Amino acid sequence: MGRRAVHHHGIRGSAALATQPIAPSAVPAEALEPGEMLRLPFAGELLGAARVRSGFVPIPADAFDGTAPTLPAEAQAAYLHLLRLSFGDGRNWCRVTKRELGTRLRLSERRLLRVLDGLVARRLARPLHRDNRGTLWRVYLPREAAGAPVGHEVLLGRLSSASPSTAEPWRGPSAVAPGPLARALAEARGELGPEGLERAGREIADLLAEGQPVRRIAAGIEALRRRGSPSTQESTP
């Protein structure tokens, strides 16, 4: 038996399904008209109409069908959860802590930050404010992220009298100049390329915005550098 076959992991129950010739009438439920409130028996199940009448989340289909397939799996999940917390509650923003998002996505804080940074780079989300309740995120629909109007399917709140008549469109994240701390962080990670420097710059900016002292940030970078140092690794028992 080949090595590939040994590690193959199929889907439970699918091995018994032989591929059948195309026959539209083979599964009666597939012949139902949209909106036809019927369920028909097939393979020991009742297949047919089902309508969620309450407790549902209104999210445009193009978030699933257009944007999600262009994102890595973790970024898809993060984006859809942000949509759930914003447009799902009838607004284009949400406030959520990193802990809550990490719990929802089952990601470490470091990995979560990388995923969220990717969404910001794609102009699908933008952090606007942070306090002890968490970060306030402006969440963008796929059309907004592409620079287009949201479309007639989405109703937006009317502008208050105190709101400007026009808003400057967001062009995405601006590059963060790599300061000494960012360069030290990128060097400790071995990521001195442009992307590594930019990522480190944004992380340092976030830490400073959270009120982290420069001395503590520098100590953390030094600890990271020591853990990754070859001489340190060789001397470790």
Domain boundaries, the chain: 61-145, 180-235
Q: Give Cα 124 to chain centroid, integer Å.
A: 9
Average pLDDT score over residue span 94-104? 95
Q: Name the residue among 103, 59, 99 with its Cα closest to residue 79.
A: 59
Task: State how far the Cα of 182 lies from the Cα of 114, in Å rounded to an integer.
Answer: 15
- SS3 state at 126: strand
* Per-residue pLDDT band at 140 (split at 50, 70, 90): very high
User: Which tokens in the block code for residue 138?
Assistant: 């402006």
- The pair phi, psi for residue 44, each rounded to 5°, is 80, 10
Task: State how far the Cα of 126 lies from the Cα of 226, in Å rounded to an integer.
Answer: 34
Out of 11-20, 133-142, 216-225, least confident range? 11-20
Note the helical H segments in 16-108.
61-62, 73-85, 98-105
More confident residue, 52 or 122: 122
Average pLDDT of the chain, as a whole number? 82
Distances (CA, A) of 228 to 113, 185, 223, 224, 231: 21, 12, 9, 6, 9
Out of 69-73, 141-145, 150-154, least confident range? 150-154
Summarize pLDDT for 162-189 with one digit per residue, the tens: 655 555 566 655 544 557 888 888 889 8
Instruction: Classify 61-145 by CATH class.
Output: mainly alpha
One-letter amino acid of 162: A
Residue 156 pLDDT more than 60? yes
